[in-house]
Amino acid sequence: MNISQADNPTIDHTLPLKIADEITRINTYANTLDPITQDYRALTSSVKRLMNTFKVAQYEIVDLLGQKYDDGLKVIVVNAMPDENLKEGEEIITRIIKPLVKYKGEQIQAAQVDISVGQ
């Protein structure tokens, strides 16, 4: 192995990416619950602890839910659904299927999202 390979070993992000996907699924489910229930509080507390552990390991799950979609975002749009409550041409990210994940500030997974489009 040469010196440059020793200084910059390839990092396997498989496990953190699977965990990020699962955190996203848990968070999505928690957001369907009544916020005053014990289940909601327990799940959201668990998600916060997992997110903090991710941050310590220099990973970041970027929260795109509810943000305006634009073509400059590094995301994959899986579904685009019409929404009469939005202004014509307005596009909002309404569901995260796979989260956008960064490691040390560099994107390692593109998000897969559903968007709502104003008609």
6 phi, psi to nearest 5 deg: -70, -35
pTM of the model: 0.82
**Antiparallel, parallel or unpaired: β 91-98 and 111-118:** antiparallel
| Residue in the block written with tokens 């509810």 | 66
pLDDT number for residue 8: 52
Question: The domain at 3-118 falls in which architecture?
Answer: Roll (2.30)
Amino acid in position 26: I
Q: What is the mean pLDDT of each run of 10 residues along the chain (119 residues)?
A: 52 94 93 94 94 94 91 88 91 94 95 93
pLDDT of residue 98: 95
What pLDDT is recorded for position 34? 95
Q: Which of 64, 50, 68 is nearest to 118 (CA)?
A: 68
Q: Give the type of residue at 24.
A: T
Each domain of the chain, given as residue ranges in start order, spans: 3-118
Q: Which residues contact 79 (CB under 8 A, 6 or more apart)?
A: 95, 114, 115
